Amino acid sequence: MLSNLEITPDEFKVVQKFLCDACGIVLNDGKEYLVKSRLGAVLRETEYNSASDLIKALRVGNASLAVQARVVDAMTTNETFWFRDANQFEELKRVILPELMKNRAGTLRIWSAASSSGQEPYSISMCVEEFQRSPAANGFPKKAVQIVGTDISTSVLEEAKRAVYSDLALSRGLNQDYRSRYFQKCSDGWRLHESITSRVRFQQFNLLKPYAALGKFDVIFCRNVLIYFSEDVKRDMIARMAQCLNPGGYFLLSSTEALPRGLDILTPAGSGMVRYHRLKGGC
């Protein structure tokens, strides 16, 4: 029944506080409809009879860690598609990878900080594959590349690890050439080739937590996720991500995002209309 999804203004505030405390996400006023629609799925999977019962458990601390994780999973948006901001991926192949292949020693490491169901880190991996196969790579040492995809949602990470996508998912941003080259038809969709998946590993991760255990990176993609956080949290996250970059490492926001003011540890970079940033310091 729809009635079991009704929530009061006070209950909405409880959800707002829970999300902010649990994962830093700011849920703006006026999003009661979103809470009701997303919590409906959680109710169908748990013992709670109504949204009010579930929200009360969150407020008093009686909800299990599994239920809390499921609420966060349901409330986080996982909109993604292949080669989003396509010009940035072209820049990755044309400028960033050649520079790193030439000047870095050892394995190159790239972090996709909001990997969702895998389209971003797998798009990065396809760029690596395309560059390494191209004449532009002649004369460069062929380096190992490790791509780490993190997300707070365990369910989308399971999708990412399967690396099987529907026709609809493939239609969003993937050209026919890449589809025929890197995907194979299987019983439940299209499976991405091991040549692409083998350099990607996925890990559940809360961006509010310390980053040191993730190690150092040469490139960080942090795109289309910071919009869900407050300015203070956003500034803190970017500053800590910058500390994870090797000197001269690259930091990419989406084309519609900008760094908070005062973060002078990163310097503008890019060519033409493609904007990104680099950690100050030499290669």
Q: How does pLDDT run across 138-156, given as a tens digit for each residue?
A: 877 778 999 999 998 888 9
pLDDT over 80 at 110, yes or no:
yes
CA distance 126 to 141: 18
79 alpha carbon, distance to own chain's centre: 10
- Cα-Cα-Cα-Cα torsion 211, 269, 248, 200, nearest 10 degrees, comes to 50
| Burial class, 149, CB count within 10 angstroms (exposed 0-12 / middle 13-18 / buried 19+) | buried
**Cβ partners under 8 Å of residue 5, min gap 6:** 36, 37, 39, 40, 43, 50, 51
pLDDT over 70 at 1, yes or no:
no
What pLDDT, in 10s, does the model give residues 62-101?
888 888 888 888 887 677 899 999 999 999 999 999 999 8
What pLDDT, in 10s, does the model give residues 121-135?
999 999 999 999 988
Helix (H, G, I), strand (E, B) or coil at 82: coil
Would you say the pTM of this structure is higher than 0.85? yes
Domains of the chain: 2-75 (1.10.155), 86-279 (3.40.50.150)
Mean pLDDT of the 13-39 span? 86
